[in-house]
Amino acid sequence: MSGRVVLQDIVKVYRSGGGLFRGKTSVRAVDHVDIMLEPGETLGIVGESGSGKSTLGRIAAGIESPTSGHVSLDGRSYARIGSAAWRRERRGVQMIFQNPSKALDPRMTIGAQIGEAMQAHGLSDMQGRKARMEEMLALVGLPGMGGRYSHQLSGGQQQRAVIARALVLEPRVVVCDEAVSALDVSVQAQIINLLNDLKARFGIGYLFISHDLGVVRHISDRIAVMQKGVIVETGRAAEIFANPKHDYTRSLLAAVPAATPAERRARERRIA
C-alpha cells in the first residue's frame, strides 16, 4: 500500500457566461500550485474562505478536473472523470466533506450505505459486506449502530459514519475538506483523535483542509498555507508555528487562541 499524490502546476479557472450587458468573467481559483502528499503523511492545507483550498482538495480527490496541470497517484495519472478507470480509482482516494448530514442519505440506514459503497466496488458478498460493515462501525466508535438512520445520530456520530463509509474501501488517501468545522470543539478533538488512530492503524495519508490553523496543528505533519489560489508557505507543522515566514501565515496564527499567557507572549514576539 503506497499513496503518493502529486499535483503539478495545477490551475483551475471558473468561467461564467455573461449576459446582455456584461461579458464573460473568469475566476482563477487555483494558480500554478505544486504539492505532494507522501504515503502515510498528513498534509494540512490551510487558508481563509475563498483561498482555493477546497477546489484543490476536490482536484486531489479526482472529483474535479484542473483547467491545466497534472495529478497522479503512485505515478499513474488520474483517468478522465466519469470513465470506468476513474470509477475504479475512486476506491484509492476517498473524500470526507464538511457537513456529514448532507453526505449521508436520510432514506438509508448507516449500515446499508457502507454496504452500498462496498458493493459499488465489487467487494465481497453480502455476508462478507455485513461483517466488514460491522467491523468498521466498531472501529469508528459506532458498534451495533448499522441499523440507524442519519437523523438518529448526533453530528459527531454522523461524521464517524461518513469516515467508516470512506475507510471501508481501504483507500490509500483520504481528502478531508473542513471535516470537523461543523462540529462542537469537544467533538472536533474526538474526530481528530479518531483520524489519527485510523491513520496509525491503516497507514493512510490525509490531505486535511481547514480554515483553522489551530485544528490543523493537531493532525498535520506538514502544512501548506494557501492565499488567493497560491501556496504562500509550506513547512513542517512545528516550524510553521515556531517561525512563520509569510505575513499571511502570521495573520492566521494571530487568530488562533493561545493556550497560555506565555504562549501568547511568545507568539506576539514572533509576529512583531
Provide the residue type at 152 as one letter: Q
> pTM here?
0.89
d(CA 20, CA 28): 23
At 138, give phi and psi (nearest 5°): -65, -40
| Mean pLDDT along residues 186-205 | 93
- Give the rounded percent of residues in the chain with a pLDDT score beyond 70: 92
| Maximum average pLDDT range among 118-127, 177-186, 200-209 | 200-209
Summarize pLDDT for 9-56 with one digit per residue, the tens. Answer: 999 999 876 666 666 788 999 999 999 999 999 999 999 999 999 999
Domains in the chain, start-ordered, CATH in brackets?
A: 5-92+171-271 (3.40.50.300)
Supply the pLDDT for residue 267: 56
Give the start-end residues of each E strand in 155-253: 173-177, 205-210, 222-227, 230-236
- For residue 73, the surrounding DSSP H or E stretch is strand 68-73
DSSP 10-48: EEEEEEE---SSS--EEEEEEEEEEEEE-TT-EEEEE--
Q: Can you read off the three cell numbers belonging to residue 214?
A: 489551530
Contact status, residue 56 vs residue 45, Cβ threshold 8 Å = yes
217: nearest Cα among 245, 247, 249: 249
Determine the length of the chain.
272
| Positive or negative torsion for Cα 92, 163, 135, 118 | negative
